[in-house]
Amino acid sequence: MSHCYSFVRVLALSSVFPIVLFTSTPVFAQTPEQTLAGFKQAALMAEPGFQGFSAARGEKFFTSVHGNDWSCSTCHGKNPTVLGKHTKTNKVIQPLAPAFNIERFTDQAKVDKWFKRNCNDVLSRVCTAQEKGDVLAFLMGFKK
């Protein structure tokens, strides 16, 4: 009986371990879809008349200036599937569209940190859940 058990265990280990060890997809805290769902929840709470997110509105928001000198695309570029460049320091910025950079929008703390900073730079205020969701809908629209 104990022999049988250890045989099963060895079998189980040998079949599980290669998967665990050699998996190529890193594990992230959340998916961009879950991040978007969080924005939706926040938008519903903020505005009872919430009509959903719009990629077209997100694109316009992303590429327009909002009273200050910079837009989102000033540093991220008009095409979020390729590298951007920080307008002041020239530092390269990895693509924003999740299909072209799998790390994007998978860490809520990072998402919150950057929206806080960048909305402050571009709009001198925090962005609404509607605006953040529109932008993410726009970015998630790019497929490989």
Partner 1 sequence: MKISTHISHNQSLKAKTLLAFAFAAMLPFGAAQASGGLKVTATNATWQTECSTCHVAYPASLLSAESWKAVMNGLDKHFGTDASVDAAAKKEITAFLEKNASQRRRDAVLSANGKPQLRITETAWFIREHDEVSGRIWKNPLVKSAANCAACHTLAEKGDFNEHNIKMPK
Q: Decide: is 24 part of the binding site for partner 1 (CB under 8 A).
A: no
Stretch of residues binding partner 1 (CB under 8 A), selected from 32-40, 41-49, 85-93, 128-136: 85-93
Give me the least distance between CB of 93 and partner 1, in Å please.
Answer: 9
99/84 Cα distance (integer angstroms):
16
- Phi, psi angles (nearest 5°) of residue 85: -145, 125
Our CB check for partner 1 shows the closer of 75 and 136 to be 75
Our CB check for partner 1 shows the closer of 9 and 86 to be 86
Our CB check for partner 1 shows the closer of 31 and 68 to be 68
- Contact set with partner 1 (CB under 8 A): 86, 88-91, 109, 113, 116-118, 120-121
